[in-house]
């Protein structure tokens, strides 16, 4: 059964965050809230963690996993951005967007799209998620916690526990979170392509 952490939504407890960071560093798979529903996350390089996410969500190896970062400055280490893309992404973050970009050599190879060599990146606008990421000091390899056949992600900790509590190692609960998944924008080509319409305003990326 997963360890259950009640985290204060505005003032997350440092001790609990440190325990969670240690669990993730030890290979744990965590279900955590974001501004666009719950997500599943594991430490960078944790291939078993990605396999567990694929199993829970019934994903193929063509699924774009996401590097969830705590600050904009981290992105340049993992994805390539020209000046126009840099300005567009910076203006839209933190927020309910996932951006698909060409990966650098620093990006975890296990996350890359097998043909395009791209990866998703995201900066959530959620206090507890950002606090965990800052405590860890590095991004989480992640995917939205949307169960097979569902149209929306899970949004409450007790529901996450009832649905996948035996399949993950830790669950963070800090109250109900947003129900709309992120807007996914592919910025790896010459023109932006919106792959999924969600909570983020798509207007800045529509031609």
CATH for 3-205 (3.30.470.10, 3.40.640.10, 3.90.870.10, 1.20.210.10)? 3.90.870.10
In this prediction, residue 41 carries a pLDDT of 98
pLDDT tens-place values along the chain, 207 residues long: 899 999 999 999 999 999 999 999 999 999 999 999 999 999 999 999 999 999 999 998 778 889 999 999 999 999 999 999 999 999 999 999 999 999 999 999 888 888 889 999 999 999 999 999 999 999 999 999 999 999 889 999 999 999 999 999 999 999 999 888 999 999 999 999 999 999 999 999 987
* Sheet of strand 37-43: strand arrangement: 3-6, 170-173, 30-34, 37-43, 140-144, 66-68, 118-122, 97-102, 183-186, 193-196
User: CA-based Rg of the chain, rounded to a whole angstrom?
Assistant: 16
**Alpha-carbon gap, residue 140 to 45, rounded angstroms:** 10
What number of residues does the chain have? 207
d(CA 34, CA 49): 19
Task: Supply φ then ψ for residue 188, to 5 degrees.
Answer: -85, -15
CB 171 within 8 A of CB 33: no
pTM of the predicted protein model: 0.94
């Amino acid at each position: 059964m997963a360890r259950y952490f009640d985290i204060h939504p505005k003032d997350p407890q440092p001790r609990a965050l440190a325990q969670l960071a240690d669990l993730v560093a030890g290979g744990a798979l965590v279900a955590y809230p974001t501004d666009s529903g719950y997500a599943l996350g594991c430490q960078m390089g944790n291939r078993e963690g990605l396999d567990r996410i694929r199993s829970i969500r019934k994903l193929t190896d063509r699924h774009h996993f996401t590097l969830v970062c705590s600050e904009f400055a981290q992105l340049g280490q993992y994805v390539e951005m020209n000046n126009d893309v840099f300005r567009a992404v910076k203006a839209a973050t933190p927020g309910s967007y996932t951006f698909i970009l060409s990966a650098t050599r620093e990006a975890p190879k296990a996350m890359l799209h097998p043909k395009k060599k791209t990866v998703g990146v995201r900066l959530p606008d959620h206090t507890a998620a950002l606090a965990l990421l800052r405590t860890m000091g590095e991004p989480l390899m992640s995917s939205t916690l949307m169960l097979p056949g569902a149209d929306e992600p899970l949004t409450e900790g007790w529901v996450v526990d009832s649905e996948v509590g035996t399949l993950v190692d830790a669950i963070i609960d800090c109250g109900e979170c947003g129900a709309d998944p992120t807007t996914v924008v592919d910025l790896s080509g010459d023109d932006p392509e919106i792959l999924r319409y969600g909570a983020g305003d798509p207007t800045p990326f529509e031609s």
